[in-house]
Structure 1
Amino acid sequence: MPQPLPSPGAATPEAIAFSRGIIEASIPFARANDGLAAWQIGSILALFGGSLGLLHVYGDQPWRWLLILPLTAVLIRIFVLQHDCGHKSLFRSSRVNDAVGTLLGFITGVAYEAWRSEHNWHHGNQAKLSHRGVDRMNSPMTAAEAIANPANAKLRRDKISIPSIFFLGAVSLVILRKRHTAFFQFRERFRWTVRNGPAMIRSVRLTNGMHLAYLVALAVWLGPLNFIIALMAMVSAAGCGSLLFWVQHNYEHSHQADDAHWSFIDAGVYGSSYIHLGPLWRYITASICLHHVHHVNARIPNYRLEAARRAIPELAAVASLQASDLRKCFTHVFWDEGSGRMVPHDEVFADRSAGQA
């Protein structure tokens, strides 16, 4: 039976030992298996090609619109595998990870080097209150800020919903990130040194060109109407992926900390969700919903995340989000430093009213 987790906090000897123990326990699982990785890449590309082939062969059938579903599922998995390459976790060789990740980016349309750099910054700074504003997916307004600015608080409450996260995320991935300026390192609020800016820009330009060539070839092969179906699957995958990103860090009992109390392991264990999924959904998402394990050690391949979760007591002790918890991801959108959890708009202002009474 997993033991209860200690509370996150300052760098006490106990907290340091807690972090060191988890890191050391995770290391044996951070080993890539090239054969298994090659199978994952080859099989998903075969499924992708097969789904497109069905669309081509049966493109005159009324049920062809149903192919949006398998195409969406396959594209989600392709993108997560591209993400894994960015962490250098899928294959043993860094060069092979980079090569495969770059090629997958030609399909997804998301530049590998630019995404890799942006996403690794996210891993190093997740749950830092002082770093909000760069990663807009993970920049909660605090309850104190909401009380100080009720209009912005109401806007945040009204803006965050399943449809809006789906739509805005799809627009960001499919359209906006065709420009390098959409990535974190080129945003106005990014105040840290960017060491690989030229490489990120080259990555965006190369990916745009190759992705355009891929889309043109697809349009010629499928025909206009069936090409629209393929595009709809791409948008659907981007939107679903954005919802996935959202619930991985924006949930009621998440974690945020100021610089003095922040630690990498706390951000992983307490600030990254675990969602228990069935075999099909685990396959589609490449186990990324074991997100707390992934954030503790991003070098653990997707095919070892569950084994790591079961073997490390501190990770096994993290409870899975339930359906009711997932709904709260879109209503509990203000960080209450007093209670150490995300709270809804009404609770923020109810507490304020109670304090004034």
Structure 2
Amino acid sequence: MALENINPIGEQTPNSSEGESSEDPVEKKTRKTPGQLADKARQRKEITRWKAIVAEFQKSSRWRANWQIFNTVGLYALLWYMMFLSLSVSWWLTVPIAIVAGGLLVRVFIIFHDCGHGSFFKSRKANDAWGFITGALTFTAYFHWRWEHATHHATTGNLERRGMGDVPTLTVDEYLASSRWGKFKYQMTRNPFILFTITPLVMFVVVQRFAFKSAKRREKISVWMMNIAIVGLAWGLISIFGFIPWLICQLITIGIASSAGFWLFYVQHQFEDAYWENTDSWEYTDAAMKGSSYYKLPKILQWFSGNIGFHHVHHLSSRIPNYNLERCHYSDPMFTAVQPMTLWDSFRCLNVRLWDEKAKKLISFGQLKRQMQQADSGDRAKSKAA
């Protein structure tokens, strides 16, 4: 998969044996100015340095991986069994269990995510097998998602390559140039209630049942194979629970997990001092370290979210499994120097909506309105002075 191979670490990606060449994002087939050449030389030095730092943490551990399978997938299955038993007692017991299962499903998705990066197990076959199993639990086609997510890693922070695996983000100029209908649609897309309740459920339950037109044959087949697996799993649970009890339990678990997952993904890249650049200025290390947050969560939430809060480390090297991310973060000042975002801090991310290319930061609709009012006041003052 060519997009996965853009990672400058030079790691073997799941499809690197298919004869597709790796491409270093630092390299460009265009003529460079002396200043640009100096920047590229600096970037290469940075890459060489952090490659040495992360190398030891890229090693998969069979013991750690199996333990996570046991305490995550095993516990998730146990919670479904407890939901079944609780049906004969009271829904007041079933619903809280389903909510906890939804939280645990986030951790199941992190295992799925690591399998997609080829980092969870050393064995490719083990990654693909557990990627498919956890994909069925999270309603996500493994190969299709892996291709889509590789695009996200290859293009995050690149203004000219937005669109796949991103939260829709417009620049100020793009927003102002939009029609009234276009502005309304964008406002609805970025509305917190819609973004973290309706959109996640629709995405995981409906949208992911279909492949992108641009997907290759294997990715498209993986979607239909996963749909069959999901129907088979649902049929088995319905035969045990009954349709309505299963539907309620399933909607609660997938609803909680998808909303939490969207929130995590949002705060990992949508914060005021995020990183966005045009292709000519885009740089891999900066995109990872400046464009991905260090979400410092309470330990219990860190456990449920599978250490994905160390997102700056993950984007620097996606081949580090989740169970090594924390150790890698604390191994070098390069990582610990990144300003952490606390749970309380993260709620401020709800206000950011647009990328201000002049200020190099994400701003709110309110900030844009005030900027325009100030500009109008300045224009009126100049007119009077004239």
In the alignment, what sits opposite 2:211? 180
In the alignment, what sits opposite 1:140? 169
In the alignment, what sits opposite 2:75? 47
Q: Distance in 1 between matches of 2:188 and 2:343?
A: 21
Paired residue secondary structure (2:319): coil
Please tell me whether the aligned partners of residues 147 and 352 of structure 1 are also in contact (alpha carbons under 8 angstroms): no
Please tell me whether the aligned partners of residues 79 and 98 of structure 2 are also in contact (alpha carbons under 8 angstroms): no
What pairs up with 1:2-151 in 2 under 5 angstroms?
Answer: 11-62=39-90, 63-137=93-167, 139-149=168-178, 151=180
C-alpha RMSD of the superposition: 1.9
Please tell me whether the aligned partners of residues 95 and 249 of structure 2 are also in contact (alpha carbons under 8 angstroms): no
Paired residue secondary structure (2:276): coil
Please tell me whether the aligned partners of residues 333 and 344 of structure 1 are also in contact (alpha carbons under 8 angstroms): yes
| Matching residue within 265, 277, 289 for 1:257 | 277
Q: After superposition, give the CA deviation of every residue in 1:289-346 in whole Å (9 maximum; x if it has no partner).
A: 1111100000001111011111122211111113454223221111111221111112
In the alignment, what sits opposite 1:161? 191
In the alignment, what sits opposite 1:211? 230
Please tell me whether the aligned partners of residues 82 and 105 of structure 1 are also in contact (alpha carbons under 8 angstroms): yes
Paired residue secondary structure (1:275): strand
How much has 1:179 moved relative to structure 2? 0.8
Q: Distance in 2 between matches of 1:324 and 1:217?
A: 41
In the alignment, what sits opposite 1:227? 246
Q: After superposition, give the CA deviation of every residue in 1:105-146 in whole Å (9 maximum; x if it has no partner).
A: 122221101111110111011110001233341x42112222
Of the structure 1 ranges 83-92 and 322-331, higher mean CA displacement relative to structure 2 is found in 322-331
By relative contact order (CA 8 Å, sep 6+), the higher-ranking structure is 1
| Matching residue within 314, 321, 324 for 2:334 | 314
In the alignment, what sits opposite 2:288? 268
Please tell me whether the aligned partners of residues 276 and 289 of structure 1 are also in contact (alpha carbons under 8 angstroms): yes
How much has 1:150 moved relative to structure 2? 6.9
Please tell me whether the aligned partners of residues 204 and 258 of structure 2 are also in contact (alpha carbons under 8 angstroms): yes
Aligned length, in residue pairs: 336
Identity of aligned residues (%): 25
How much has 1:103 moved relative to structure 2? 1.7
Structure 1 alignment gaps of length 5 or more: 1-8, 188-193
Please tell me whether the aligned partners of residues 71 and 230 of structure 1 are also in contact (alpha carbons under 8 angstroms): no
How much has 1:14 moved relative to structure 2? 3.5
| Matched letter for residue 29 of structure 1 | F
Please tell me whether the aligned partners of residues 147 and 348 of structure 1 are also in contact (alpha carbons under 8 angstroms): no
In the alignment, what sits opposite 1:3? none
Structure 2 alignment gaps of length 5 or more: 1-34, 379-386
